[in-house]
Amino acid sequence: MMQNKEDMITVKVSELKQLCMERLRDVQVPEEEAERIADILIESDQRGVHSPGVVCLARYINLMKKGEMKKRLQFHVLNDSGASVVLDGEHSNGQLLGVQGMEIAIE
């Protein structure tokens, strides 16, 4: 639920991206993956869809610290029928796995 505009703060996208990347690097997420995760979370917020946005970052970091989410993308192909591919992300970040799935589909 959105709060009153008076209760909201404005942060420059570049500063928010830097903060997200720093927090991800603090838990040893590789630079390129940290940047991709930050970009996707911020883009969601910019579109006005906040539930999968930057608000998820603290949860992701906590999951990584507990070993419940991988700090780097790992996956394997469960099924490849040519027209579709099913990937097992092995508890990797969903945004990264989604991008990987799109890249495989484009090939």
Strands 76-80 and 85-88: antiparallel
pTM beyond 0.85, yes or no: yes
Phi, psi for 50 (deg, rounded to 5): -85, -25
Chain segment 44-101, per-residue pLDDT in tens: 999 999 999 999 999 999 999 999 999 999 999 999 888 888 999 999 999 999 999 9
- Reference 93, options 74, 65, 66; nearest CA is 74
